[in-house]
Structure 1
């Protein structure tokens, strides 16, 4: 048993000053104010101890997509404090996605990944982003169910455009399979978004990006997603996808924000030429675009940087930390990560005065950390 003490311990819900996290093996035993008890005392000093970060939407990192080398991609993000990560898949044929889901499912079952996210192919051509337009399609229920069944419970989220034919029926089936239905890459109206939420949508895939803007007479999906307390809204706070001031404003009033990276293989790597799905990507100044275009192709962000960026933009640190820990865990119904509580996994990050990650604890063991 080890008693980790710090000047501040963030539980996933509140900040304790000072605080103590008691762990044994891979599990949390207790969290609270420091007290006498069995076990080795480790005083971490004037730092903040937080649950490990949870990334609900990422395509890769360390030079690899999750399809290419899931363990290497996860390891890159873990070194930056993300101890739970979902493998997001971009649009491919149904047969290819079936193969990819089946290949990744054992890693979810083994606890190496937190789940699988299908970002496509049921998206809008008008807001395709970095998805091949010729592969986009309406959500035929048999195809939706085929991919969900292929994952045998490991597909945790599906992004869908609410205006596509068959979307509402597909959303209901996604939810019945125990996955999150997220609205994104969509050209839907406000009313279509409301209907999708009523059908079961509880997520907004990278809010503001790949959807119509908020207009005074045609508010589109953004208002519908922001105003509904059933919906968790993802934000990419990398200074490219959103103005930091906009992200900070939204986080100041919406209690259901989830920080994500939407990272592609180039996260943690040098500029160069990469591939996202089947599309060539150019990364210059750490910004990813589809080759020869100005279309953003994911990010090179790590979640530790997203937290630091949010706080630098004026977000309350507790709000930013919730958006990277307990919020994504609740969003995806991951009950053993994202918080410190008896029985949760002993995943933690040690944060310095500038909120950067200094040390990473994964399943009760210290890992090598990489400062962003």
Structure 2
């Protein structure tokens, strides 16, 4: 086992648990895993007294809590995932949300031309591989023109299972969901977009319908 994996360190502060807040709590990490959570005065009994004594302490009034999860995010920090032509541009948004506590983020693309969706998928899939993103979400392009909301109707197209499979393949297993309008011909059925998503491990999400 590596030295990094064996490293034990602790954070101390107001710890948020599923059912209450520990005012003087500690979270002990062993490598990349949480080894123990409890009140700071119980740490020695649990075998983590030294780690808690040397713990990094949250700022006054600060909380220790699990990272937030965002499953539909278009960007932040002056950049957006739908417009990100490079990983560096996309990372501006990732880091903007991370500094406010969102540690798992699904990047959402909007309705766009197929070539644009292909290009964005390549960029975002690379960040998923690096562990910076939790997945990719496509909002369109197979949605209703009548219920398009903020989606550009110019790029709304008829459901295309082949394009769906191509995007899933380009995503390298990181496409997690696509927003689709179920009433459009070509969405349902054995050869439809819905089936292509499920076969590719992505969750169909009915919207803009």
TM (normalized to structure 1)? Answer: 0.46
**Equivalent residue, structure 2, for 1:142:** 162
Alignment of 1:74 with 2:98, yes or no, is: no
**Equivalent residue, structure 2, for 1:132:** 152
Secondary structure of the 1:147 match is helix
Within a 5 Å distance, the mapping from 1:24-173 to structure 2 comes to 24-34=30-40, 35-36=43-44, 37=48, 38-39=50-51, 40-44=54-58, 47-66=62-81, 67-68=84-85, 69-168=89-188, 169-173=192-196
Within a 5 Å distance, the mapping from 1:179-258 to structure 2 comes to 179-186=202-209
Q: Return 5+ residue gaps in structure 2 as ranges.
A: 1-7
C-alpha contact (below 8 Å) 2:22/2:38 kept by paired residues: no
Cα distance, 1:175–1:33 mapped onto 2, change above 3 Å: farther
Higher relative contact order (CA 8 A, sep 6+): 1
- Shift, 1:72, TM fit: 0.9
**Equivalent residue, structure 1, for 2:16:** 9
Q: Can you list the C-alpha shifts for 1:10-53, whole angstroms capped at 9, x where unaligned?
A: 3xx43342442112444433334442114233444654321111
Alignment of 1:177 with 2:200, yes or no, is: yes
C-alpha contact (below 8 Å) 1:8/1:46 kept by paired residues: no
Report the Cα distance in structure 1 between the residues aligned to 2:112 and 2:187, rounded to whole angstroms: 18
Secondary structure of the 1:92 match is coil
Cα distance, 1:144–1:17 mapped onto 2, change above 3 Å: same
Report the Cα distance in structure 2 between the residues aligned to 1:116 and 1:3, rounded to whole angstroms: 33
Report the Cα distance in structure 1 between the residues aligned to 2:39 and 2:182, rounded to whole angstroms: 47
Q: Can you list the C-alpha shifts for 1:172-221, whole angstroms capped at 9, x where unaligned?
A: 321221222211111xxxxxxxxxxxxxxxxxxxxxxxxxxxxxxxxxxx
Task: Count residues in correspondence.
Answer: 184
Report the Cα distance in structure 2 between the residues aligned to 1:23 and 1:131, rounded to whole angstroms: 44
Secondary structure of the 1:101 match is helix
Tell which deviates more after alignment, 101-110 or 133-142.
Answer: 133-142
Tell which structure's C-alpha radius of gyration is larger.
2
Report the Cα distance in structure 2 between the residues aligned to 1:127 and 1:177, rounded to whole angstroms: 26
C-alpha contact (below 8 Å) 1:8/1:17 kept by paired residues: yes
**Equivalent residue, structure 2, for 1:348:** none
Report the Cα distance in structure 1 between the residues aligned to 2:26 and 2:199, rounded to whole angstroms: 40
Q: Return 5+ residue gaps in structure 1 as ranges.
A: 187-372
C-alpha contact (below 8 Å) 1:9/1:20 kept by paired residues: no
C-alpha contact (below 8 Å) 2:27/2:36 kept by paired residues: yes
Report the Cα distance in structure 2 between the residues aligned to 1:50 and 1:3, rounded to whole angstroms: 13
